[in-house]
Structure 1
Amino acid sequence: MKFFSIIIPTYNSSATIKACIESLLQQTFTDFEILVVDGLSSDNTRAIVEGIADSRLSFFSEQDSGVYDAMNKGIKKANAKWLFFLGSDDFLYNKNVLADMNGLLKKTRAKFVYGNVKIVGDTSWAKDGEIYRGVTSVPDLLTFNICHQCIFYSIDIFKHKLYNNQYKVLADHDFNIYCASRYQMQYVPITVSFFNAGGISSRLMDANFQKDKWVNTVIYFKKKLFDKSFYKYRYELKKTVKPFLKQSKFKLAFTALRAYSFLKLSKFM
């Protein structure tokens, strides 16, 4: 078993995939595999990847339903202790990233370890050149996602859940909220990669995710929401009561209502 599985979803990525992979092959730490999971590209992505002679590199190509479907397929093929997802137009920050992370991951009990990314280009949530985003508390994660290009996930997490393909743009945000409800998270002050602002998460909205976000939050966290740190989200939690009642999920409706009531009163405690 390798230490890292690095999963790169691709579709018509010929302009960027070589630089992405080269940033991995230049690493001083070498105990990793690279899984390029392609969605039947019509350009020469396959030729570029297959033209790179390295036994750690594997290329798979078949029709998929989007980037998170490709990531799920990569997870099922992975054979490593830690999984890392890199966009085909992103690349590691320097040649020592994996060596530095290896040293830290060997010592941690956390199953979700994250650093920072450096933004390339402007997004609606970060500007060009910015280091995004430092320590992110569990409540803050409900507003600000952590880029998966700086997260290292224990393989154990994926034994219980994969990315939800209904969320075409922000399935990683949903998945990270799920992880925060169940696993220890650890921030490390390392800039892991350059994040290219041209991806779908920088440009598009995800109506399905936004519709389900707070319902899912209640499902994931349940009684863990009875914490003063969630105070600013009390009204969002209250709004989930009706959807739960319509679905006859009475225990979840009661949990959401109790959490709202507790948080409303917590201001005076």
Structure 2
Amino acid sequence: MNITEAQACAAQLSSGSDSPAADVELLLCHILGCSRTFLFTHREHLLTEQQQAQFEQLIRRRIDGEPVAHLTGSRGFWTLDLEVNATTLIPRPDTECLVEKALELIPVSVARVLDLGTGTGAIALALASEQPGWEIVAVDCVAEAVSLAESNRQRIGLDNVTVAEGSWFEPVSGMFDLIVSNPPYIDPQDPHLGQGDVRFEPLSALVAEDKGLADIRHIASEARRFLVDGGRLLFEHGYDQANAVQRLLADLGYNDIESAQDYGGNDRITWGQWGHPVKEGNKQNAE
């Protein structure tokens, strides 16, 4: 089997994948240890018997619905290549919108930031890579996720992130300029839980009671004890939860509450400010 013949296997994935051709390319790059450019410039390159057997096995697993990120063990996020496994959520491109907003909300070179429910460490590590002067604490309650995030941190070489194990604020001390979270926010009754990649991801990282708002409410309530005056709280949430999250933050006393859309045009992130707004002069001094 050569590369052209292998790429033709995309037809087998057409019923169960939104991007069958891209899936095949990622699997081939993983098996061959090559770039996508190599696939298009060496179409007649032959896979070894071992490579062909591995490719065919991965295709069968993808047909069964297993996520490509689990098959390759990695997923690109921001500018980083992250190790992933079945103990955490697979980082999604739309979560990059949260990273973009965090960098916009705290435009200073020195800050203390908390990432709750860090999973692979995607958000914390992306922020750390852009702002080396930020001190970032990344928390997860799942020991395997903590190990994975720490492994990613060490491999990428970011010394301004500390990964801690515990439930939400349990292992945390001190005050923060920014608290970010992509918490569980799916209603346990949501039919999408039986579809697509989420079938292979841990329910504990996906679902929350109270129509998906329980963890968001808990974090927003407790965050008030850990945010500096003028500090920001920033969430990723469900596509239809922006109004509910805005009301929740307002009821808890946050101000300057806004939402923004993801790359698909869905209201995906909401943020609020605790205490008094940071004065412009203070921003300049902090920079």
Q: TM-score, normalised by structure 1?
A: 0.27
Q: Which has the higher contact order (CA 8 A, sep 6+)?
A: 1
| Structure number, greater radius of gyration | 2
The TM-score with structure 2 as length reference comes to: 0.26
